[in-house]
Homo-oligomer: A and B are copies of this chain.
Amino acid sequence: MTVIVQAAPFEAALLSGAGRGLPGVGAVVTFIGQVRDTEGDLERMEIEHYPGMTERAIEAMLAEATTRWDLLDGIVIHRYGTLLPGEAIMGVATAAAHRAEAFAAADFLMDYLKSRAPFWKKEVRAGRMSWVAAKDDDETALRRW
């Protein structure tokens, strides 16, 4: 299991390497979330986090996912700092014997990262900054698990 919290960009290859060399792995799912510019006016995104708590929170999620879905490997990478449109914000990878487990665990991790990992996003559009509001949906999503 690997947790990486960094300002620098990351390589997608880091995620697809999940479970490499483990003979029981039949399925590897990766997810990458990236900065969208739907309105065409997004200059950048600034992500703040809570060093220390971030790593602890993500490690706890990964441990929970590992137990619930028998993960053979799991990776979470999340960036902070300044990100430009098109850049990858974060990534998750899960490796399991079967597809259903790998998919469910990745989905679970994403739901938890959205509203239980201490990151806060701010968008800068046309020079104006605004904090991204949490969605009620994000909280509702946790009840699935």
**What is A's interface to B at a CB cutoff of 8 Å?**
12-13, 15-17, 21, 23-38, 40, 85-86, 97, 99, 102-103, 106-107, 110
Bound-complex Cα distance A107 to B16 (A): 17
Please tell me how many copies of the chain the complex holds.
2
Q: List 12 A-B contacts (CB under 8 A).
A: A13-B16, A16-B32, A21-B86, A23-B36, A23-B37, A23-B40, A23-B85, A26-B36, A27-B34, A31-B102, A33-B99, A103-B106
Known: A30-B30, A31-B99, A103-B103. Contact between A25 and B36, CB under 8 A?
yes
Shortest distance in angstroms between A121's beta carbon and chain B's nearest beta carbon? 12
User: What chain B residues lie within 8 Å of A107 (beta carbons)?
Assistant: 103
